[in-house]
Structure 1
Amino acid sequence: MSVAEPRRIVLFRHAKADWPQVTDHERPLAERGRQDAAVAGRKLTDTGIPIDLALCSTATRTRETWKLAVQEFPQRPKTVYEERIYEASPGELIALLNETSDDVRNLLLVGHNPGIQGLADILSGTAEGDARERMDRRGFPAAAFAVVSFDGSWKSLEPGVATLLDYWTPSE
């Protein structure tokens, strides 16, 4: 893979979680979340982006979201469950992404707000069509995802270098 080829990042927020008497990290998906995770998986497949690597928070709700979404994929990408995604700031997520091997072209990150939305905002210096307007208007609800693209190595990923290509929420 050449660093000259564009790279894409899918920023995927976990689906709707339930609020049982457990720690925040152990919160499972609600029934609506299970349904939305599968729908999001189908929509992710519709993008046609062949995911090379999925980085997923270790929180129960993110792992359950990914498990349901990835069932819709034609091929399961390599998945790494990463503790550092839980409660990560956009800057911490960029630092994590900077560690990605340049062999990876398309990466999916399953995480939490406010980090995921903040990362989409911070990375996207430009946007195609009305993606930015829709994301700004709707925020980043549970099971939403944004697709950003940038040129260069993963080490060169920094605020403003990406283009927001797509944005989707379960209400669309």
Structure 2
Amino acid sequence: MSVAEARRIVLFRHAKADWPPVNDHERPLAERGRLDAAAAGRKLVDTGIPFDLALCSTATRTRETWKLAVHEFPHRPKTVYEERVYEASPGELIALLNETPDDARNVLLIGHNPGVHGLADILSGTVEGDAAERMTRRGFPAAAYAVLSFEGSWKSLEPGVGTLLDYWAPTD
């Protein structure tokens, strides 16, 4: 694959978590989160993006979100559970994405706020349609995702190089 081809990144926030008396990393999904994770999976399939790689935080709620979402996919992409996604800043997420092999064209990152929302904002140099307006209006609630594209190698991913193509969030 040529590094000049468009690449897509989907930034997917974990679904709604419960608050049992466990440490934050081990918080499971709430019942609503389980429903929203599956709905997000169906919407991700509707994008038609053939994901090559999924980078998922090791937190329980992100792993559960991914398990329920990917169940809706016709083909499961290679999945890497990456502890550096947990509590990562946008800059740390960019550094992680810079390590992605160039044979991966479309990457799904399942993570946490504020890092995921911040990364969507930082990467978006341009916007198609009303995606930015919808993302600004809704924020980045649990189970929301943003679809971005950029051209170049993963090593060239940096602030402002992306185009925000779409944004989706479950309804309240």
Give the TM-score, by structure 1 length. 0.99
Q: Does 1:66 align with 2:56?
A: no
Moved over 2 A (4+): none
Q: Does 1:2 align with 2:6?
A: no
1:11-54, Cα deviation, whole Å (9 max, x unpaired): 00000000000000000000000000000000000000000000
Query: RMSD of aligned C-alpha atoms?
Result: 0.7
Aligned-residue sequence identity (percent) comes to 85
Letter in 2 for 1:68: L
Match of 1:120 in 2: 120
Letter in 1 for 2:136: D
Letter in 2 for 1:159: P
Q: Does 1:104 align with 2:104?
A: yes
Q: What SS class does the counterpart of residue 2 from structure 2 fall into? A: coil
Distance 1:73 1:51 in 2: 10
Report the Cα offset of residue 4 of structure 1.
Answer: 1.1
Give the TM-score, by structure 2 length. 0.99
Match of 2:18 in 1: 18
What does 1:122-141 correspond to in 2, within 5 Å?
122-141=122-141
Aligned residues: 172
Gap regions ≥5 residues in structure 1:
none
Match of 2:145 in 1: 145
Gap regions ≥5 residues in structure 2:
none
What does 1:23-102 correspond to in 2, within 5 Å?
23-102=23-102
Letter in 2 for 1:100: T
1:46-81, Cα deviation, whole Å (9 max, x unpaired): 000000000000000000000000000000000000
